[in-house]
Amino acid sequence: MRVIAINRSEEKFARERRQDLQKVHKNLDPSLHPYEKAVEYTRALNAAKLDRVFAKPFVAAFTHDDGITCLARNLHHLNGLVSGCADGNIHLWDVPARRCLRKLVGHTGPVKGLAVTPDGDAVVSCSTDCSVRLFRLPFAPFAPGPVQDAAGAVLEFQGRHAFRGVDHHWTASKFATAGAQVDVWDHERSEPVSSFAWGADTVTAVRFNPADSELLASAASDRAVALYDLRNAAPVRKLVMQTRTNAIAWNPMEPMNLTLASEDCNLYTYDMRRLQSALCVHKDFTSAVMDVDYSPTGREFVAGSYDRSLRIFGHTGGRSREVYHTARMQRVFAARFSGDGAYVFSGSDDMNVRVWKAQASAQQGTLLPREKHKQAYQAALVERFRHLPEVRRIERHRHLPAALYKATKVRRAAVDADTRKLKRRKAHSAPGSVEIKPERQKRIVAELE
């Protein structure tokens, strides 16, 4: 006869000495872990709730003397942010230290556009005072040091008209300005190298393509978005929409795609090779979209609107993933992603640049491996049970200020009424006489070559 019976010694199974860590044993047998799915569902629900509990996206506000009109980030230094003011001053901010490093003065009218040179040493600004100025940007040291005083421009370019926007070339020492026409300037010349005009009296925005840096997109007051090739010295293509475009952003990872911030509350992503139809229409704003900027990953973009809110969209998301607002934030005129994609900046009419987290509930600072693991686990759980109504309700819920909430409702009612009316018109007309255009082509008036 042989008898084997369970006989555990505490020294072997728990710990030998008091100083030792307690041993943790694992047995993955499913019968020891009952109600697996129910437990996971409960955890997913809790994770979704905690995510909302910890959603505190606001980080800091940088105060100015007048409304913010434009923002630019330094491509070389993560901590550098440049903001342009309606009083003509430009501020250089050290974001992590939350301090102003330098005030760049000289403009006599509101600064309308800012672009940092690719080497990160200078910033080009344009203003309605018919001048474009180039300022040196000091490196923002991480250690606290003496803050330098106001500095003047190094170079000054005079134009014959007010300027509305500027963007710097990705490699060469060239930049393009938007004004009465699109001008391309060289750092070394006081006159524009070339100029493009295509039937518009005012061009409001201009952006270089990140991949093909000789390609340029501009938005003008004739509701058109035009593409220019600097090598041809001629416009390539033009898209006329029903409403004006306020800002343009190229997707840095899919450089053939560009997103337009439109006056009709929507954003439109187009493939520049195929302008007959938008790739995606991004809806959710209730007023004109003023600015748009892509995350360096190209997976999402941030947009600011005249309805006093800031929204983050997925690059293929028809609806926004996140909406940011505060009681004191006014019309948002500028929005930018940070260089690491972890923060977004908004510049608004209330004289503040605000810093927000890109992930509202993300924990700041270094995470321990166990914390990282736990957060990944919770994210996976929420993803898995997202389709269940309780989890979805909590996960999708965003608080909106009463005014915005009501405006959303009113807008939805109007859109629904239009749709209904069109449907009825079609039902009561001769077959084929009323054409219902798909949403992605609805706002396109013409495409010109």
Partner 1 sequence: MVEEAERPAEPPHDAGQAGPSGRKREREKGGPGGRAAKFRRGQAVATHAIPDKKLKAKMRYSERLASEAAHMAAKTDEWLLPSEPGALEVEGMERTWQIQQAALVREAEEGAGRKAFDLALPALGPYALDFTRNGRFLLLGGRRGHIALLDWQRAKLLCEVQVRETLRDVQFLHNDQFFAAAQKKYMYIYDKRGIEVHCLKEHIAARRLDFLPYHFLLTSIGEAGVLWYQDTSTGRIVAQHRTRLGACDVMRHNPWNAVQCLGHVNGTVTMWTPNITTPVVKLLCHKGPVRALAVDLSGRHLVTAGADGQVRVWDVRMYKPRHAYFSHAPVEALDISQRGLLALGHGHTVQVWQDALAEKQQSPYMRQTLASSGLRGLRFCPYEDVLGAGHAGGLSTLLVPGAGEPNYDSRVADPFQTAKARREQEVHALLDKLQPDMIVLDPDSIGQVRKEPAEARAAAAAEAQAANAARRAAAADKADAKKRMKGKNKPSRRAARKKANIIEETKGPMRARVARALPHLQIT
Task: Enumerate binding residues for partner 1 (CB under 8 A).
Answer: 1-10, 13-14, 22-43, 46, 385, 387-388
Q: In the bound complex, what is the minimum distance in angstroms from residue 237's beta carbon to partner 1?
A: 31
| Residues counted in the chain | 449
8 Å CB contact between 343 and 59: yes
Tell me the torsion sign for CA atoms 213, 214, 215, 218.
Answer: positive
AA letter at 175: F
Query: Residue 349: which of 290, 394, 292 has the closest Cα?
Result: 290
| Two structure tokens written together for 323 | 């909406």
8 Å CB contact between 173 and 184: no
Which is closer to partner 1, CB of 14 or CB of 180?
14
Which is closer to partner 1, CB of 21 or CB of 143?
21
φ, ψ of residue 103 to 5 degrees: the values are -110, 125
CA distance 347 to 132: 21
Q: Is 316 helix (H, G, I), strand (E, B) or coil?
A: coil
CA distance 306 to 287: 6
Which is closer to partner 1, CB of 27 or CB of 232?
27
Q: In the bound complex, what is the minimum distance in angstroms from residue 25's beta carbon to partner 1?
A: 5
CA distance 140 to 248: 28
Q: In the bound complex, what is the minimum distance in angstroms from residue 398's beta carbon to partner 1?
A: 25
Q: In the bound complex, what is the minimum distance in angstroms from residue 211's beta carbon to partner 1?
A: 27
Which is closer to partner 1, CB of 1 or CB of 430?
1
Q: In the bound complex, what is the minimum distance in angstroms from residue 317's beta carbon to partner 1?
A: 16
Q: In the bound complex, what is the minimum distance in angstroms from residue 373's beta carbon to partner 1?
A: 15
CA distance 186 to 230: 13
Which is closer to partner 1, CB of 201 or CB of 390?
390
Which is closer to partner 1, CB of 213 or CB of 378?
378
